[in-house]
Chains A and B, each alone.
Chain A
Amino acid sequence: MSGRSSPRAKYYRGSTDGRRPLGHDPLAKVRAAYDVVVIGSGLAGLTAANVLGKLGHRVALFEQHYNFGGLATWFKRRGGHVFDISLHGFPVGMIKTCRRHWTLEIAQRIVRLDSIRFDNPQFRFETAFTRADFTEKLVGVFGAERSRVEEFFAHLRAMNFYDANRETVAEVFERFFPGRNDIHRLLLEPIAYANGSALDDPAIAYGIVFSNFMSSGVYTFSGGTDLLVGLMRAELERNRVELFSNAEVERILVENGAAVGVVVGGREVRAGAVLSNASLGTTVQRLVGPGHFEASFAQGVSAVRLNNSSCQVYMGLTEGATIPFVTDLLFSSSRERFDSRSLCDFHGESRTFSFYYPKTRPQSERYAVVSSTNANWGDWAGLSQEQYEREKAKLAADTLRELERHVPGVTSKLDHVEVATPRTFGFYTQHPEGTSFGTKFEGLEYSLKLHEQVRGLFHAGSVGIIMSGWLGAANYGVIAAAKLDPYLAGLATLAAAKGR
């Protein structure tokens, strides 16, 4: 999976079909030293780099992939197809984050989805995905007591990260709606797709994310991920952040207990501080090396559990073909009862369909549908190439059959169908086990404390469920930048004192 097979050809471009050496040196313009090096261009890395650049620091960002954006990405295929990977929906808070830390133009392109639907053996309806509408559904469709529903929402909203309360999602659900598997499904299924939340995870992580969505529904970026990342790059350049793609960081340099730079493409680049947007485990175990941490910390990081990965099926309609408006986001399942683990089943019965109409990319007239399922690395990792192709074909066929149920006749309008698996996500992000949503809850604490172990080393990226998803990752970038900035000021004061 890594490109370190040949020592001489250092720079690669490629896909899961294979990597090939690059014709040019992607690091030709790199300087010897920066104030900050950011490793990885996920939304956390990009946002941190932008905030730090705006504060006047000299920032270099290295991304191993040829594209920027991390999982916030897209790809194009012959026939004019464009597919978005993780543009299904995020909470309204993204507008505020983009207005303050990106640009007004980016913030203004964030629009609310028009429609969200559930379709499963327990219930079928359209919802605004807000507290008000969920309350109506819980009372009107599920027959829950209104006061109970109000109490449930109030309980989630009041949850505070600093509380020691470690109740699980399942415990909270049972307390408020005992034995109501259908209600549990309504409340958790969408969030499980959004960030890998499961019934046995701490309720706090679920509560924060669910409340964020319930405040005003689900939002998307009008213009597509390609436009978003393009606008972000332009803003980064305005803030003099130097961006390098095809540039894999191999090592973080540590001297006297402090991060002082990186080795990228075989070259040393020095920096006052290093911010890693690579996964937590990779950062500690591979990029820094466990020897630079207290043994208990390094062991703690190894024990942090990862969130699940994903499978997706990308379905592009032929140019000129259309479908009527069905919904924007469809939580579809033929499974009788809900449990969060089964959402990851190999060839399971549950998936979400995201429908992309011309409104998604007002500049184009094309339609596409992307189906997403949660998935386990273990089910896909060990397959031979032949088995792998067979299982991918089965996933595509099952998905098309389900889609046909919701949009009769759609299959005949498609001229591109492609499948991504945990292997694909692992390849493009280098995240262990292709994790889509970083780590489980316990990862957050380690991520936040990295710089207490190695001075000047910071992490920002999907951890702890709370910090994953577009909003969580972008906000974590801001949080990390706010911590890193005073550290750099301290270094400057120290240098000035020494110089005197």
Chain B
Amino acid sequence: MTQDEVIIAIKDIIAQIAPDEDLTNLEMDVRLREQIELDSMDFLDIVMELRKLYGVQVPEKDYMELATLAGCVKYLHPLLEKKPLHCAQGAPIS
């Protein structure tokens, strides 16, 4: 996965968890929770989806690293670099 694909992967997971949110104009450096309705259980579900889809384990102490999209890329890209992008529930990537 490239860095851009990491963003696609994350947005795809968020789209599953918060289907009513518009994700097209998300800012990279602003906390996700300030841009869309995500409660702490939703956030946990993102972590769990990363685990299910890509086998990535995010320990609790690192949860804060995923607060922004930029943070997600920084933290996840090294872990996802060698993995192919696919989408939650097999939805095509647009």
Q: In the assembled complex, which residues on chain B have CB atoms less than 8 Å from the CB atom of A55?
A: 51-52
Q: In the assembled complex, which residues on chain B have CB atoms less than 8 Å from the CB atom of A489?
A: 57
A489 CA / B48 CA spacing, docked (Å): 14
Q: A409 CB to closest chain B CB, in angstroms?
A: 45
List residues 93-112 of chain A with CB under 8 A from any CB of chain B: 93, 96-97, 100
* Cβ A482 vs Cβ B52 within 8 A: no
B41 CB–A CB distance under 8 Å: yes
Q: Given the interface contacts A485-B57, A486-B58, A486-B59, does A478 sit within 8 Å of B52 by beta carbon?
A: no
Q: A102 CB to closest chain B CB, in angstroms?
A: 13
Residue among B41, B47, B58, B60 having the largest count of chain A Cβ atoms under 10 Å: B41
Contact indicator per residue, chain B 38-80, by CB within 8 Å of chain A (1) or not (0): 0011001101100110000111100000000000000000000
* Cβ A478 vs Cβ B59 within 8 A: no
A51 CB–B CB distance under 8 Å: yes
CB closest chain-B residue, reference A54: B52
A475 CB–B CB distance under 8 Å: yes
* Cβ A482 vs Cβ B44 within 8 A: yes
Q: In the assembled complex, which residues on chain A have CB atoms less than 8 Å from the CB atom of B44?
A: 478-479, 482
* Cβ B48 vs Cβ A482 within 8 A: yes
Q: In the assembled complex, which residues on chain B have CB atoms less than 8 Å from the CB atom of A483?
A: 59-60
A220 CA / B51 CA spacing, docked (Å): 32
Q: In the assembled complex, which residues on chain A have CB atoms less than 8 Å from the CB atom of B48?
A: 51, 478, 482
Contact indicator per residue, chain A 485-500, by CB within 8 Å of chain B (1) or not (0): 1100100000000000
CB closest chain-B residue, reference A482: B44
* Cβ A475 vs Cβ B41 within 8 A: yes
* Cβ B41 vs Cβ A478 within 8 A: yes
A interface residues, how many (CB within 8 angstroms): 15
A contact face: mostly helix, strand, loop, or mixed: helix
CB closest chain-B residue, reference A483: B60
Q: In the assembled complex, which residues on chain A have CB atoms less than 8 Å from the CB atom of B51?
A: 55, 485
Q: In the assembled complex, which residues on chain A have CB atoms less than 8 Å from the CB atom of B45?
A: 100
CB closest chain-B residue, reference A474: B41
CB closest chain-B residue, reference A481: B48
List residues 465-483 of chain A with CB under 8 A from any CB of chain B: 475, 478-479, 482-483
CB closest chain-B residue, reference A162: B40
Q: A452 CB to closest chain B CB, in angstroms?
A: 10
Q: In the assembled complex, which residues on chain B have CB atoms less than 8 Å from the CB atom of A51?
A: 48
A406 CA / B86 CA spacing, docked (Å): 59
* Cβ B57 vs Cβ A486 within 8 A: yes
* Cβ A482 vs Cβ B47 within 8 A: yes
CB closest chain-B residue, reference A212: B39
Q: In the assembled complex, which residues on chain A have CB atoms less than 8 Å from the CB atom of B52?
A: 55
Q: In the assembled complex, which residues on chain B have CB atoms less than 8 Å from the CB atom of A486?
A: 57-60
* Cβ B41 vs Cβ A96 within 8 A: yes
Q: B20 CB to closest chain A CB, in angstroms?
A: 12
CB closest chain-A residue, reference B58: A486
A401 CA / B9 CA spacing, docked (Å): 61
* Cβ A97 vs Cβ B41 within 8 A: yes
A485 CA / B57 CA spacing, docked (Å): 8
A247 CA / B40 CA spacing, docked (Å): 34
Q: In the assembled complex, which residues on chain B have CB atoms less than 8 Å from the CB atom of A478?
A: 41, 44, 48
Q: A58 CB to closest chain B CB, in angstroms?
A: 17
Q: In the assembled complex, which residues on chain B have CB atoms less than 8 Å from the CB atom of A482?
A: 44, 47-48, 60
A490 CA / B59 CA spacing, docked (Å): 10
List residues 154-174 of chain A with CB under 8 A from any CB of chain B: 161
Q: In the assembled complex, which residues on chain B have CB atoms less than 8 Å from the CB atom of A475?
A: 41
A489 CA / B45 CA spacing, docked (Å): 18
A55 CA / B51 CA spacing, docked (Å): 8
Q: In the assembled complex, which residues on chain B have CB atoms less than 8 Å from the CB atom of A485?
A: 51, 57
Q: B67 CB to closest chain A CB, in angstroms?
A: 12
Q: A244 CB to closest chain B CB, in angstroms?
A: 26
Q: In the assembled complex, which residues on chain A have CB atoms less than 8 Å from the CB atom of B40?
A: 161
Interface residues of A (CB under 8 A from B): 51, 55, 93, 96-97, 100, 161, 475, 478-479, 482-483, 485-486, 489
A55-B51, A486-B59 known, 7 other contacts, Cβ within 8 Å: A475-B41, A479-B44, A482-B47, A483-B59, A485-B57, A486-B57, A486-B58
Interface residues of B (CB under 8 A from A): 40-41, 44-45, 47-48, 51-52, 57-60
Closest 4 CB pairs of A and B: A486-B57, A486-B59, A489-B57, A483-B60
Give 21 CB contacts A-B under 8 Å: A51-B48, A55-B52, A93-B41, A96-B41, A97-B41, A161-B40, A475-B41, A478-B41, A478-B44, A478-B48, A479-B44, A482-B44, A482-B48, A482-B60, A483-B60, A485-B57, A486-B57, A486-B58, A486-B59, A486-B60, A489-B57
